[in-house]
């Protein structure tokens, strides 16, 4: 792997760690900070709302400011924003602010964080588009998706290892790692040679027919993904009668590890050897996602949960790089920054609405979120069979 890709992966892994650390370190402290459940939900969602607006703008900015500068700005914002969030949590634990003032403080910090980190993924995605030919675009995008998956796996283990030394120490260390990743990028990451002319990025609307199918795909993937994560703990208790806290946590951990392992296997091994065109990756990925959800819904015993999450991991392994590659190949060289911003923003929209909708319909029938997710992903798969998707030059 080239040095520039290693630098990008280091930054993306660090960013992914911070995202997963938030659930491991921050959410268990909510009651100590005097936050109600609905307030915690708003604080978590705040950065996703900000990202949905900031990522497209950072993507377009990378056309004029450069991929390297936007990537560095995002990492710097991540380090400062994450350290500020840790200080805010620390202030609450010290009793300097609780209840409503604490809620407002954390909400503002999360909104600011979402604005400044919005350039990390778009800049990295556009960088890969600049430095790969069409035939290797999908495998390059698989590396981007793999980095986020690695960060998601490392984050909880990292947070657990440091938990004994202080409740927010892991957050401070994560901010420090972002400083190191940013320093490496500052010293050694070159600005890529553009395939198109420099200049202001042309405006690319989310409704543009060339990219709309892939933006919708991202919203569905992450809406279903985060929504099912939200109701899994309740599903484990209601379906398998695993109510003891430690046992339930262990069950969820095994399920998540199954998904993460197979996602990484597909992205780091399968797609690096098999240069599958985006159309194949997307049709396969969304079909497998529906199969995994149905397996969880109707499979016997807790092992069906593990198997379903494993299939879900395989599906995500194909779908994520397929969506980015298809979106990138659908537009011209001067639109790579703009499309990268839209592709980075679309998942956050799903992350805002998925948990809310799944939590609401779970009360009506526990299997309903799984069945609704399967219907939705199958509908997207059928849609992808009816449209002409971009093929890398030289592919069949």
Which residues, given as ranges, of the chain have pLDDT below 70?
1, 23-24, 27-28, 31, 37-38, 41, 156-157, 160, 163, 194-202, 245-246, 249, 393-396
Range(s) of the chain covered by CATH 1.20.1250.20 = 3-188, 212-386
**In the structure encoding, which two tokens stand for residue 302, read together?**
């807790």
Question: What is the pLDDT, as a whole number, of residue 249?
Answer: 59
Question: For the whole prediction, is pTM greater than 0.95?
Answer: no
Question: What is the pLDDT, as a whole number, of residue 33?
Answer: 79
**142-186 pLDDT tens trace:** 777 778 777 877 776 677 677 677 778 888 999 999 999 999 999
Give the other-Cβ count within 10 Å of 94's Cβ: 8
Question: What is the pLDDT, as a whole number, of residue 395?
Answer: 44
Question: What is the pLDDT, as a whole number, of residue 290?
Answer: 96
d(CA 278, CA 169): 41
Domain 212-386 bears CATH identifier 3.50.50.60: no
Beta-strand ranges (E) seen in the chain are none
d(CA 378, CA 359): 21
Alpha helices, DSSP H, located in 241-298: 245-265, 271-273, 278-298
d(CA 281, CA 269): 14
CA angle centred on 215, ends 291 and 226, rounded to 5°: 50
Torsion angle in degrees (nearest 10) through CA of 192, 331, 138, 60: 50
Write out the CATH class of domain 3-188.
mainly alpha
Question: What is the pLDDT, as a whole number, of residue 217?
Answer: 95
CA angle centred on 256, ends 314 and 370, rounded to 5°: 70
């Amino acid at each position: 792997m080239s040095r520039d890709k290693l630098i990008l992966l280091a930054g993306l892994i660090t960013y992914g760690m911070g995202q997963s650390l938030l659930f491991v370190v921050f959410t268990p402290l909510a009651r100590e900070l005097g936050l109600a459940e609905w307030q915690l939900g708003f604080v978590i969602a705040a950065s996703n709302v900000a990202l949905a607006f900031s990522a497209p703008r950072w993507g377009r900015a990378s056309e004029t400011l450069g991929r390297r500068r936007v990537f560095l700005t995002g990492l710097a914002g991540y380090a400062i924003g994450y350290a500020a969030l840790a200080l805010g949590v620390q202030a609450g634990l010290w009793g300097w602010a609780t209840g409503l003032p604490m809620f407002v403080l954390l909400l503002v910090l999360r909104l600011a964080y979402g604005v400044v980190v919005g350039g990390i993924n778009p800049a990295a995605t556009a960088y890969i588009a600049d430095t790969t030919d069409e035939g290797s675009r999908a495998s390059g995008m698989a590396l981007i998706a793999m980095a986020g998956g690695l960060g998601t796996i490392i984050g909880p283990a990292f947070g657990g290892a440091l938990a004994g030394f202080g409740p927010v120490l892991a957050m401070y260390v994560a901010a420090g790692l972002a400083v190191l990743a940013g320093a490496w990028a500052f010293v050694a990451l070159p600005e890529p040679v553009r395939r198109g002319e420099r200049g202001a990025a042309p405006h690319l609307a989310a409704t543009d027919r060339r990219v709309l199918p892939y933006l919708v795909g991202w919203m569905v993937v992450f809406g279903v993904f985060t929504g099912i994560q939200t109701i899994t703990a309740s599903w484990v208790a209601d379906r398998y009668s695993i109510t003891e806290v430690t046992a339930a946590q262990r069950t969820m951990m095994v399920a998540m590890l199954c998904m993460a392992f197979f996602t990484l296997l597909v992205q780091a091994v399968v797609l690096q050897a098999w240069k599958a065109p985006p159309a194949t990756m997307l049709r396969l990925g969304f079909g497998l996602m529906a199969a995994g959800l149905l397996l969880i819904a109707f499979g016997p015993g807790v092992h069906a949960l593990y198997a379903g999450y494993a299939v879900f991991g395989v599906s995500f392994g194909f779908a994520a790089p397929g969506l980015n590659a298809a979106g990138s190949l659908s537009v011209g060289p001067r639109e790579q920054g703009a499309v990268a911003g839209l592709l980075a923003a679309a998942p956050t929209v799903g992350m805002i609405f998925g948990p809310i909708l799944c939590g609401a319909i779970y009360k009506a029938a526990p299997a309903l979120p799984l069945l609704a997710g399967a219907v939705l992903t199958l509908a997207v798969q059928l849609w992808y069979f009816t449209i002409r998707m971009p093929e890398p030059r030289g592919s069949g």
